[in-house]
Structure 1
């Protein structure tokens, strides 16, 4: 996929989905998943910035591992957001070939 397909909202819901589907991933694990999914190279800054915004909005919980590294856990609010997005996509694409 090209960078044209990495719009902010799509990027954010994809990143949140990867956090939801992993057990407390660190930013490096999320970055690797995002790079593979979009077939591009995102920088750590974009991943860390998005994870920090998610933490501030209550979508993920940042957990300190060793005082330097962090991992991220999806919150109920974040899980609800992912589920609602999935339901929207399913509803809007029902019947497509």
Structure 2
């Protein structure tokens, strides 16, 4: 996970935490967190990067809506990041 941007890490966490992650749902969660608009031109290329890295799988809910699910590798990366972070910041 060391090679991901902060935004990409946030995407990974949001995808892991949602029941049925899809583009607009992910976008809404990030906009709530950042308290500002997240543009499609930033969101979707970063989602594609996570797919290319094997951390997220992309599927289709319908012809217009993509779904995103975290892979086992993605979950391991989140767990490893949490373990690393706990060395420096007590829970």
Band the TM-score falls in, shorter-chain normalisation: 0.7 to 0.9
Q: Which runs of 5+ in 1 are unaligned?
A: 1-7
Question: Displaced runs of 4+ in structure 1, greater than 2 A?
Answer: none
- RMSD after superposition: 1.6
In structure 1, the residue matched to 2:54 is 58
- Asked whether the 8 Å contact 2:59–2:66 carries over to 1, the reply is yes
Q: Which runs of 5+ in 2 are unaligned?
A: none
In structure 1, the residue matched to 2:43 is 47
In structure 2, the residue matched to 1:5 is none
In structure 2, the residue matched to 1:22 is 18
Q: For residues 62 and 13 of structure 2, what CA distance do their matches in structure 1 show?
A: 25
Q: TM-score w.r.t. structure 1 length?
A: 0.81
Q: TM-score w.r.t. structure 2 length?
A: 0.86
